[in-house]
Structure 1
Amino acid sequence: MIPARMPLSTLLLPPGIDRSASILLAARSLRGLCDGFIAVLLPAYLLSLGFGQLTVGLISTATLVGSALATIAVGLLGNRYPQRALLLVAASLMAATGLGFASLSSLWPLLVVAFAGTLNPSSGDVSLFLPLEHTRLAEAANSDSRTALFARYSLAGALSAACGALLAGVPDWMAVHSGIPALAAVRAMFVLYALTGCVICMLYLRLPKRESHAATARAPLGPSRGIVTRLALLFSVDAFAGGLLVNSLLTLWLIQRFGLSLGAAGRFFFWAGLLSAASQLAAAPLARRIGLLNTMVFTHIPSSVCLIAAAFTHSLPLTLALLLLRSALSQLDVPTRSAYVMAVVTPPERPAAASFTAVPRSLAAAVAPTIAGALLGAGWLGAPLIACGALKIVYDLALLVSFRRIRPDGGSS
């Protein structure tokens, strides 16, 4: 029988993990909730302001470029400054981003806020929070528990993003039942985004202070430089492919091709998020059985095939079924990829490794939404899906060939 006073963190976290990790899981859940409704609302918000499909892509590109530059700064400074202080800065920036989007209507000010802020138009986490939280997570777990912890972290993000997608229907509900103009209701959701940033800031204040590795590592990267470079290059291919179909653009694609409403799109992303979350529960046991690398590759390829097939279907139910199947498979590589990076570098290199593998991903992904937006605006609706799926298959095969002989500290590849 579980003791009545056993801390909740003990129930949520496996053995061998520091309880402070529960704070990071809570923060990730709150951010995922916001990312879920922002990704669905962003294209509709921009269209309601009078912008076109290309602008949706430009805003998405600005957010990803800004995230990449912020992540570079984290990689260079993360081993010199307290991580908790950097996390507090990131949370404060999140609050400012929400207020900026809630109050601005012109293109250039919105581009500036998108570039400098923390908005996330994709299904994954591409913000400066990522390397900071990954480093703290890696420090909170031993090698045997690391994959399980990263799986819980990804699960928290996926579940909360799924619930957040349902909230995308709130503005329509408010417009119908309370008489509030639809545009004002959408702006209110950005205010909610800002308030969530304030709550996350209070959560980070509860993290214990830790010394940086500056005393033990003069350079951000040392013996693992070659491995990190190769991983970063390959991850950039995957990120560019994913950037062609971030959630905001997939929402736009569903609206254009099938006339889906915001509420229906939100429900789709809810179920897609639930499937992604459920699949990540299998990541840790599957990785223990077949290895981290094999889990990353052999679950990713079938999801890409489903995406390519969805581009050629003309039936909405069949298209949604293929996209849901893709969601059930595509995120199994997320916790295993994070755990793999943390496992193949030395502990002092982890902040830099997390940043330098994330930066090319953000930069590569930043270019793609503008290209995809232009393709959608030109009427080539299936092109982003086909290109995304094909490039991801190339990435998976290259990753397998390049790293099949490199074993992480946990002993499984």
Structure 2
Amino acid sequence: MRPALTLIAARGVRGFGDGFTALLLPVYLSILGFSAFRVGVLTTATLLGSAALTLAVGLAGHRVPARRLLFGACGLMGLTGVAFSQLHAFWPLAVVGFIGTLNPSGGDVSPFLPLEQSLLAHAGPPSRRTELFARYSVTGTLMGALGALSVGLLEPLKALTGLPQLTLVEGAFAAYGVLGLVSAALYRNLPARPAEAETARTPLGPSRRNVYGLAALFSLDSFGSGFMVQSLFALWLFHRFGLSLAVAGGFFFWTGALSAVSQLAAPWLARRIGLINTMVFTHIPASLCVIAAAFAPNVEIAFGLLVVRALLSNMDVPARTSYVMAIVTPAERAAAAGVTNVPRSLASAFSPALSGLIFSLTPFAWPLVIGGSLKIAYDLLLLWRFQKVRPPEEADP
């Protein structure tokens, strides 16, 4: 179980960095004088770049040991943090965002994900697979929440040191780069050639049809999610309700913490109603809450709806990952993880620019309505297409 603990710990380290950079990115770009539309464009660039790297890992990564690819991704994460701490012009930042590993969504949309998922699927028996993925997802979400909470320290640091906010934000991005080196140190504990995971990695074969079908549906879900990535969500809260950075950080901490805790219920629920039902019947109410939040007349009602959403919206994450790993052959897991994770950044990469444009044209939160509606459509299509494609542990005796 040591490889599983290593992978979960590394996910936590990166989750902390994702948590504070997702919230600081719109603040940083606003300090530099960029409009909501440009914030959306840069968000699109970062997600497109993550998609390209994730796709490369998924389709060709079986030729290179996963441990070596993880070290390379850590080096890229370090360089991304340094570059963002030094650059102020829009186009250089967009280029670095595209090439680098910065994650504006608050979740994990990076080349790390398919590599870690394929290794984690082999780190325990099938009966514990969903539980391991739940712990992996919970750790990332909870550490992301702590990362969001940590941005509240900027104001006290500003008062204590007298440094301008821009300098402190630049320091935070440099710290993100340091976390890449910490992740690399953790990955050194992985075996150089994990026997089962590394010797049996092949491109997609007999499971191709199901994997491509899931990838198409995940594209729809991710496109909807892109309308409300955390950076743009924070921008809406800043403008709509005039929240301070500390209050926004506290809010994202509590919603992230509730989301993390709720994911622990996913294995229990999946054992009783199945993985697909767990994904669908927790996701639809969460999407209805985010649509309702767009119409909230005050911040208290909006926060209440978003808290309910946080309790439900990520319960599908461990179930989804476990389902993908279960319905493919062990040899196809690395490729399946890459191909199904690409939509989380590729499809969602196009909607942030649209969301930023809509926010710049109207004060009403149309992106929340659009995104929530698309996610409900995804859930209904997933239930229709895959309800009868059961993982081995759910097959009739």
Identify whether the pair has TM-score above 0.5, normalized to the shorter chain: yes
Q: Deviations over 1:300-346 (max 9, x none)?
A: 00001111110111111010110111011000000000000000000
Q: State yes or no: 1:347 paired with 2:330.
A: yes
- Is 1:256 aligned to residue 249 of structure 2? no
User: What's 1:298 paired with?
Assistant: 281
Letter in 2 for 1:232: A
1:105 paired to 2:88 = yes
Structure 2: unaligned runs, 5 residues or longer: none
Deviation at 1:412, TM superposition (A): 5.7
Q: From the two aligned structures, give the one with the greater helix fraction.
A: 2
Q: Distance in 1 between matches of 2:151 and 2:364?
A: 23
1:143 aligns with 2:126: yes
State the one-letter code of the partner of 1:165: A
Moved over 3 A (4+): 211-217
Contact 2:122-2:197 at 8 Å conserved across structures:
no
- Which residue does 1:13 correspond to in 2? none
**Paired residue for 1:55, among 22, 38, 41?**
38
How far apart, in 1, do the equivalents of 2:227 and 2:139 lie?
A: 25
- Post-superposition offset of 1:74: 0.3
Matching residue within 357, 366, 383 for 1:383 = 366
Cα distance in 1, alignment partners of residues 73 and 40 from structure 2: 24
Q: 1:13-412 alignment to 2 at 5 Å?
A: 18-210=1-193, 220-411=203-394
Q: CA deviation at 1:180?
A: 0.8
Taking the aligned partners of 2:364 and 2:22, their CA distance within structure 1 comes to: 19
Q: Residues of 1 paired with 2:268 and 2:150: CA distance? A: 32
Q: Residue by residue, what CA displacement relative to the aligned partner does 1:262-306 show, whole Å, maximum 9, x if unpaired?
A: 111000000001110110010001100111010000000000111
**Residues 175-229 of structure 1, C-alpha deviation per residue, up to 9 Å, x if partnerless?**
1221011100011101110111111111111111225878756x61100000001
Q: Give the residue type in structure 1 aligned to 2:294.
A: A
- The whole-number CA distance in structure 2 between the counterparts of 1:191 and 1:411 is 46
Q: Give the AA of the match of 1:333.
A: D
CA contact (8 A) 1:37 1:168 kept: yes
CA distance in 2, matches of 1:215, 1:102: 40
**Equivalent residues, number:** 395
Q: TM (normalized to structure 2)?
A: 0.97
Task: Tell me, yes or no, if the aligned pair for 1:80 and 1:213 is still in contact at 8 Å.
Answer: no
Cα RMSD of the aligned pairs, angstroms, is 1.4
Partner SS, residue 393 of structure 2: coil
Would the aligned equivalents of 1:292 and 1:412 in 2 still touch at CA under 8 Å? no
The alpha-carbon distance between structure 1 residues 216 and 43, as it changes in their structure 2 partners (threshold 3 A), is closer
Distance 1:301 1:315 in 2: 24
Give the structure-1-normalised TM-score.
0.93
Aligned counterparts of 2:207 and 2:159: Cα–Cα separation in 1: 57
CA-CA distance at 1:170 after TM superposition: 2.1
